[in-house]
Amino acid sequence: MNTIFSIVCPVLNEERHIGKVIEDFLAYCPQPSELFIADGGSVDRTRDIVGDRSGIHHNIFLVENHDKYVSFAFNKCFRKSKGKYLALLGAHTEYSEMFFRNALANLESSKCDAVGGPLIHTAKTATGKAIAYGMSTKFGVGGTEFRTSSARQYVDSVAFAFYRREVFEKIGLFDEQLIRNQDDEFHYRMNAAGLKILMVPEMQCNYFVRETIAGLFRQYYQYGLFKPLVLKKVNSGVRLRHLVPAFFVIYLIGILPLFIVAGWVALLPLLLYFVLALYFCDRTQSRTAMLRSFFVFPVLHVSYGFGFLVGLGKLI
């Protein structure tokens, strides 16, 4: 029988999550399919867990990803793959039976070239839950549909997508210059080529967010850092939400001279920002939880905006 799905899952020290990814694949993914786990140099038990499973299941493969990053992982596995459809999945995510079956149904319907679902942001700690909430709001992440909406719709980009093999034959593989935002850049290329990306609510999956403020800052700093390069490569992907955090950081850097020149009027944008943050924070929880979600917003915006400016500087 012909292989249905070739699924690529890049990993690095994912002993807490990789077993569940394999279980979801074996339990829910239509067969025959294959799972490539591309390891970027794990020093925990990740490799042992994958090795044990691949020794039992002939369709699970451990692939050495010496270049560490996602783009290299996917491209290397693509060249080994046999599937009619391909997917790039994350280890920090739980997938349901409906996730895989709806991917197949929508791709076979010929109504899209790629398909994915909305993310349910999930966490275990109090700080993580505040981060999950902030990443689910439009004030936190702009109009990113797969984070803030659950409606069936065509979108610019989607997380953990399934693709027709013909997509890669038409527009190429993932860009190995990008160690972040590689899926965004690929999706913008799809948009520019007239290919359709569909988000369906039945494919929602649980995504485990960073559990610390420091981890969130690093994540969004890197998102911002590589976004100018993405937009340079595919400028049709530029959206206002990509630029606003950078303008906010520029404003914060210049707030003291602005205050000297304009007085208290210079503080009005900052006051408006905090009013909006208070309005959008999680007011359904305790006061402590509400304050945590309140402070997540500036972390998201400042880290991304600062990274964007640094990345832009590297291009100039």
In this predicted model, what pLDDT tens digit does every residue of 7-54 receive, in sequence order?
A: 999 999 999 889 999 999 999 999 999 999 999 999 999 999 999 998
User: For position 150, what pLDDT does the model report?
Assistant: 86
Tell me the two tokens of residue 309: 């400016």
Q: What percent of the chain has pLDDT over 70?
A: 99
Pairing of strands 114-116, 205-208: unpaired
265 vs 250, 275, 276, CA distance in Å?
A: 17, 16, 18
Distance CA 227, CA 244 (A): 13
Query: Which residues in 48-61 are b (16+ Cβ under 10 Å) and which e?
Result: ebbeebbeeeebbb
pLDDT digits (tens, 9 = 90+) for 40-94: 999 999 999 999 998 899 999 999 999 989 999 999 999 999 999 999 999 888 8
User: For position 95, what pLDDT does the model report?
Assistant: 87
SS3 10: strand
Distance CA 5, CA 35 (A): 8
Distance CA 141, CA 273 (A): 14
Say which amino acid occupies 234: V
CB atoms within 10 A of CB 287: 8
Q: Is the pLDDT of residue 96 over 80?
A: yes
Say which amino acid occupies 184: D
CA-wise closest residue to 203 among 91, 75, 104, 313: 104
pLDDT digits (tens, 9 = 90+) for 248-257: 999 999 999 9
Radius of gyration for the alpha carbons in the chain, expressed in angstroms and rounded: 20
Domain with CATH 3.90.550.10 in the chain: 1-91
The vertex-99 CA angle with 230 and 140, nearest 5°, equals: 45
CA-wise closest residue to 162 among 133, 190, 130, 139: 190
SS3 142: coil
CA-wise closest residue to 205 among 158, 139, 138, 155: 158
The burial of 116, by beta-carbon neighbours within 10 Å (0-12 exposed, 13-18 middle, 19 or more buried), is given as buried
User: For position 276, what pLDDT does the model report?
Assistant: 95
Q: For domain 1-91, say whether CATH 3.90.1150.10 is its number.
A: no
Say which amino acid occupies 103: A
Q: Is the pLDDT of residue 1 over 70?
A: no
Are 260 and 212 in contact by the 8 Å Cβ rule? The answer is no
Are 7 and 34 in contact by the 8 Å Cβ rule? The answer is yes
The model's confidence at residue 117, banded by pLDDT at 50, 70 and 90, is very high
Give the orientation angle of helix 126-134 with respect to helix 213-233, to 10 degrees: 30
The model's confidence at residue 144, banded by pLDDT at 50, 70 and 90, is confident
